[in-house]
Structure 1
Amino acid sequence: MSIRRKLMTRFIGMLTGTVILIIMLGSLATFWVLQKVNEVNLVDDFVNNGLDQLINTAEIMPDNTIRYDPELLKQVDKNQGWLQVLDERGAVIDDYHVPSDVPNHYKPGELIAYWQAEKAFPYQLAMLIREKDGKNFTLLYGEKNVAKSLLDQIRAQLLYDRGKLTVKPAEQEAIRKLNAYIQVLDTYGKEITSYNKPAAGVPSEYSIQDIVLKVRYPNRSGITVSTWYDGQHETTWLLSVPVHPSMTEKTNPYAFILEPALIILILSIIVLLVLLALWYANRFGSPMLHMLQWLQRLEQGHYEEPTGAAGIPRSQRRNGKWKRKYQVYGEVLHSMQALSHTLKQDEAQRKQTDSLREEWIAGITHDLKTPLSSLQGYAHMLETDKYSWTTEEVREFAGIMIDKSMYMDRLVNDLAMTYRLRSGGYQPEVERTDVNTLLHDLVQRAERNPAYGERRILFQPADEPVYGLVHIPSFERIVDNLTANALLHNPPEATLAVRVLSGERDGEFTIEFADDGQGMSPEMVWKLFERYYRGTDTGTSDMGSGLGMAVTKGLIEAMKGRIEVDSAPDEGTIIRLIWDAYAG
């Protein structure tokens, strides 16, 4: 997988994980909010919300008793309520905290009369019928409404006339005992008169919605409210009894749920994003910083990867494998390792090249000075009046001077050729040629050279015609150079085998120059194609310039071929000229 796909996969995975975590946090927050809202609903309106949950979560035990949810029973206790379960005949089969003044059996009409408030009942009654386990159950929930009970008790004794409310002593005692107060409102909800009303915290005007909410949700305000409408005077009576120490108006009960939930959710998302940013920086940023530091070291000439305290590269484990956070950059790290290795090799090769260049300069200087010294010496000899040279001696001196000048000319020409080949300035025009025929003619010409000796060259053509794109003059020079090296720099008894090997496709072929001479060491093989490696001494031979193999390598590469050398001391040498494909 490419680094692009790896990074895309990691980024998409990270984004997906982030979205999943945010969804999980949102789900947890939603679940918590729903739980809290359910709790508020149970407190606000247990009749409509709690009874249904109570009967749905109830379990019928083997002894026909019913087990309720303990949390819901706690709310029943807080509301000072009670429970009864009736069978189809109205008999109580199970109860919970039922007061003594509540019947244990109901006639059908009697239960309906209590439920519809057609018959006096000391408690506010709610009824729920459900089928559970194949049986119909009627759940009665009773809750004493203190305000309603007090209002029913004292209403007949209260007198209201012309905006004035008269309360008798007995009723005053009952009202003050419960810290209750009465308000009489006109048709617009404005207070006309009141009794025992607190000095602060109680409004003097109510809308219809205000009255409904106070009656419907007493826990929100901490006050139980009961109303009675006086049709004769068109007034509304409100009797309020505090059920909590404070009578001040409470805020929205859902605010303490939604605000913390929203704050916690936002803070959780921020913390999550910060942690993900830190993780991302460590996961992706740390390897990038490591690679930047590595590049800076390469710029400074230090080619080793930065290591940790234990001396191990920071991107690797002890077993040499990539650490997890570096795996996504594996291709880049491989490339940087290869670059470091190449730069290290280039540095070593540069040092070796510098050494060879110094040797080469010393050698070329020596070989140019030697023939120049000879030319100067013979020129001085001919110039001097001290001796009278014969015609034969003058011709001998002239021949030597011509040989030395020709050697210098070859040396300069080969040197120029090596620079042209290395700079790409020499582009020979190749043509499709029969390699077997061309090489056979060149080998025959070499066999006629008396300097090589007799019967030292063996030619082995390919079994089938071989055609390749070669530049014939360059090819002739290559063959001459390789033949001369094999025969002149080996013992007289050494032989040379020249073979043509065909390739699998048109234009693919190999030529082998294999001799059984003294061979070369690995260092000599490595330096073989360096310019002026041989350092020819003009005192031994003027046949070569010392640049022959460098020129040979350049000419082969200019014809889109390559050269390989296989040699060992005392085992001979094999030089292969390889053309991999036909570029038609």
Structure 2
Amino acid sequence: MSIRRRLMTRFIGMLAGAVVLIILLGSVATYWVVQKVNEVNLVDDFAANGLDQLINTAEIMPNDTIRYDPELLKQVDKYQGWLQVLDEQGYAIDEYHTPADVPTHYKPGELIAYWEGQKPFPYQIVMLIREKNGKNFTLLYGESNPAKSLMNNIRSDLAFTNGKLDLQPDQQEALRAANAYLQVLDASGSELSSYNKPAIGVPSEYTMQIRYPSRSGMSVATWYDEQNETTWLISIPGDPLATGTQNPYSFILEPALVILIVSIIMLLILLAFWYANRFGSPMLHMLQWLQRLERGHYEEPTGAFGIPRSQRRNGKWKRKYKVYAEVLHSMQALSHTLKQDEELRKQTESLREEWIAGITHDLKTPLSSIQGYAHMLEADKYSWTTEEVREFAGIMLDKSMYMDRLVNDLAMTYRLRSGGYQPVAEETDVNTLLRDLIQRAERNPAYGEGRILFQPSEVPVYGLVHIPSFERIVDNLTANALLHNPPESILVVSVHSGEHADAFSIQFADNGRGMDSETVWKLFERYYRGTDTGTSDVGSGLGMAVTKGLIEAMNGRIEVQSTPGEGTIIRLIWDGPSETN
């Protein structure tokens, strides 16, 4: 999977996770609000909202008794209520806290009269008829209503004439004893008159629904006078601290909303920290890595234990770095390449300084000789013989020829490096050509006698070579092997045929001092091994660099194998058209 797809997958997964968590938080908050609203509804008016739950959760036992939800029974106890279950004949089959003055049997129509208020009843009742387990039963829930009892006691003597409230002393005493107040309302709900009404906190106008919730502790009873079209309202306050004006739902919705918002904010903050650690930390690590590369430090930044921050102890990527695996691989490759280039630059700088020092030395040395002999010939106080003048001229000529070869070889190396030298190859008998060149080298007194052995190929070998360049290559390799090894060392030159036409190889093997790996690596650098005027007749010090360039110009390659103390083997290999084309 590409880094683009991995990043998209991670981002989509993160957003999906955030959405799921927010939905879960919203679901939990909604569930909590619903539960609290149900609790408020039960507290607000248990008779209207709690009885249905009470019936639905009730269990009928084998002995026809009923077991209720204990939590709902607590609400019944809170409002000092009572329960009574009646069968189809009106007999009470189960009771809960039923007072002694409540009947245990009701005649047909009697219960309806009590419920509708047609017949006085000492309690305010609510009736529900339900079917449970195939049986029909009636549930009565009653609460003591002091206001209603007081209204029943004084209603027969209440009078409102000529816009004035006429109360008897015993009625006034009953109202004051119960800490109740009386209001007379007209047809629109506006107050006409009142008695014992508090100065504040009591409305003077009412809507069509005159009701105080049970949570306020207010006991209310009304009586409608059809003759005068007035409504009589008796109210008995309960807990003086309960005003009845507060909205209980605000204590549910507001905390739920605040908690939900705070939870979402905290969730987003945690997701931001997680995102920064998951995606930002690797980016910061790579940025620090690039800054180190800019300063020339090519190692990956490490942690407290010296281990790269992106890796575990076993070398594998850490989880949060896997998404950037391609980038990290590229940065590792870049660091390795820059480090190699820096090392190569230092080596090249060192070689360049050595090369310049060698070239300067080998140019100044013959120039010094030529200049010295020229001063000797110029001096008037010396009279040189003809033989001495010829000797001086010969030395000066030799030094000038050395300088000429040095300059030509230097120019040749640059031409070969730049590709400006393209020799024309021709089909040549390699065995014959190499035998002639070896025989010519054997006649060189500087090499010594019997130090070169030639081993031709058993079959004729023909190759595409440029003969002048080939002669230069053989001369350079022969001189290098014989002049830089002990006098007793032997050079064996052999020809080997290839697998197909124009493919062959030539091997130069000596049993001399050999070379270490660093020398082999630098062998073909320009002027790695300097020369002096004592060996001016055998080269300029650029021979191996020129040799490698000439071989490559003829579509060949060179390989070197050397061991210190055992000797050196140099192979010239031409693979033929199959490689060059």
Bin the TM-score by the shorter chain: 0.7 to 0.9
Q: Residues 270-296 of structure 1: CA distance to partner in whole angstroms, max 9, x if unpaired?
A: 222223323333343344444434443
Residue 150 of structure 1 corresponds to which residue in structure 2?
150
| 1:310-321 alignment, distance < 5 Å | 310-321=305-316
- State how far apart, in whole Å, the 1-side matches of 2:107 and 2:460 are: 123
Task: Tell me the equivalent position of 1:363.
Answer: 358
1:573 aligns with 2:563: no
Letter in 1 for 2:291: Q
Counterpart residue number, 2:122 = 122
Provide the rounded CA distance (Å) in 2 between the counterparts of 1:273 and 1:172. Answer: 65
Name the residue aligned to 2:445. none
Equivalent residue number for residue 256 of structure 1: 251
2-side partners of 1:139 and 1:578: how far apart? 113
Q: 1: distance between equivalents of 2:460 and 2:207?
A: 116
In structure 2, C-alpha distance between the alignment counterparts of 1:182 and 1:558, rounded to whole Å: 125
**Following TM superposition, by how much is the alpha carbon of 1:145 offset from its aligned partner in structure 2, in angstroms?**
3.4
Once the 2 structures are TM-superposed, how far is the Cα of residue 497 of structure 1 from its aligned partner? Answer: 4.6
CA distance 1:240–1:357, change in 2 (3 Å)? same
| Aligned twin of 1:415 | 410
Q: Percent identity?
A: 65
Distance 1:341 1:137 in 2: 90
| Deviation string, structure 1 residues 180-232 (Cα, Å, up to 9, x no partner) | 21211222322110111101111212233xxx1x42x5236543333332222
- Measured against aligned partners, the alpha-carbon deviations of 1:531-570 in whole angstroms (never above 9, x if no partner) come to 2112234423544433344455567788999766444332
Instruction: Judge conservation of contact 1:230–1:236 (CA < 8 Å) in 2.
Output: yes
Matches within 5 A, 1:166-565: 166-208=166-208, 212=209, 214-215=210-211, 218-219=213-214, 221-246=216-241, 248-376=243-371, 386-389=383-386, 394=390, 404-419=399-414, 425-426=418-419, 438=427, 441=429, 444-449=432-437, 450-453=439-442, 456=454, 458=456, 477=469, 480-481=472-473, 484-485=476-477, 488-489=480-481, 493-497=490-494, 513=507, 515=509, 517-518=511-512, 519-540=514-535, 542-551=537-546, 565=560
* 1:327 shift after superposition: 4.1
Question: What are the ranges of 5 or more consecutive residues in structure 1 without an aligned counterpart?
Answer: none
**Partners in 2 of 1:236 and 1:13 — Cα distance?**
66
Q: Is the 8 A contact 1:304 1:340 kept in 2?
A: yes
- Evaluate the alpha carbon distance shift between residue 442 and residue 231 of structure 1 in structure 2; reply closer, same or farther with a 3 A threshold: farther
Q: For the residues of structure 2 that align with 1:335 and 1:162, how far apart are their CA atoms?
A: 103
CA deviation after TM superposition for structure 1 residue 461, in Å: 9.3
Q: Contact 1:179–1:241 at 8 Å: present in 2 too?
A: yes
**C-alpha spacing 1:574/1:177, structure 2 compared with 1 (3 Å):** farther
Q: Which amino acid aligns with 2:481?
A: H
**Aligned 8 A contact 1:202 1:248 in 2:** no
Instruction: Give the distance between the partners of 2:411 and 2:110, measured in 1 at CA.
Output: 129
Distance 2:59 2:365 in 1: 120
Q: CA–CA distance in 2 between the matches of 1:460 and 1:15?
A: 78
Cα deviation digits, residues 7-46 of structure 1 (max 9, x gap): 3333333323322222222222111111111111112232
C-alpha contact 2:453 2:491 (8 A) present in aligned 1: no
Per-residue CA deviations over 1:424-445 (Å, capped at 9, x if unaligned) read: x4367799x9xxx85x645643
* SS of residue in 2 equivalent to 1:85: strand
Could you give the per-residue CA deviations for residues 83-114 of structure 1, whole angstroms, max 9, x where no partner exists? Answer: 23344444433332222222334455444444
Q: 1:225 to 1:414 in 2, by over 3 A?
A: farther
Structure 2 unmatched ranges of 5 or more: 443-451
Aligned residues of 1:462 and 1:501 also touching (Cα < 8 A): no
Q: Distance in 2 between matches of 1:560 and 1:133?
A: 105
SS for the counterpart of 2:433 is: helix
Post-superposition CA distance 1:120-162 (Å, at most 9, x none) = 4333333334444454444332233333333233222211112
Q: Aligned to 1:206, what secondary structure does the other structure show?
A: coil
The alignment status of 1:32 with 2:32, answered yes or no, reads: yes
In the aligned structure 1, how far is the partner of 2:162 from the partner of 2:358?
139
TM-score by structure 1 length?
0.80
Asked whether the 8 Å contact 2:556–2:572 carries over to 1, the reply is: no
**Equivalent residue pairs, number:** 560
Distance 1:167 1:567, change over 3 A: farther
Aligned AA (2:350): S
Asked if structure 2 preserves the Cα contact closer than 8 Å seen for 1:427 and 1:558, the reply is no
Q: Give 2:238's aligned amino acid.
A: V
1:287-336, Cα deviation, whole Å (9 max, x unpaired) = 44444344434444444444444444444445554444444444444444
Q: Is the 8 A contact 2:560 2:568 kept in 1?
A: no
Distance (whole Å) between structure 2 residues aligned to residue 451 and residue 107 of structure 1:
150
Q: Which amino acid aligns with 2:29?
A: A
Whole-Å Cα distance in 1 between the matches of residues 313 and 290 of structure 2?
23
Query: Which residue does the alignment assign to 1:66?
Result: 66
Q: Is the CA contact 1:189–1:207 (under 8 Å) kept in the aligned structure 2?
A: yes
Please say if residues 81 and 141 of structure 1, whose CA atoms lie closer than 8 Å, have aligned partners that are also in contact.
yes
RMSD between aligned alpha carbons? 4.2
AA partner of residue 387 (structure 1): W
In the alignment, the residues of structure 2 paired with residue 122 and residue 41 of structure 1 have an alpha-carbon distance, to the nearest angstrom, of 26
1:539 counterpart SS class: helix
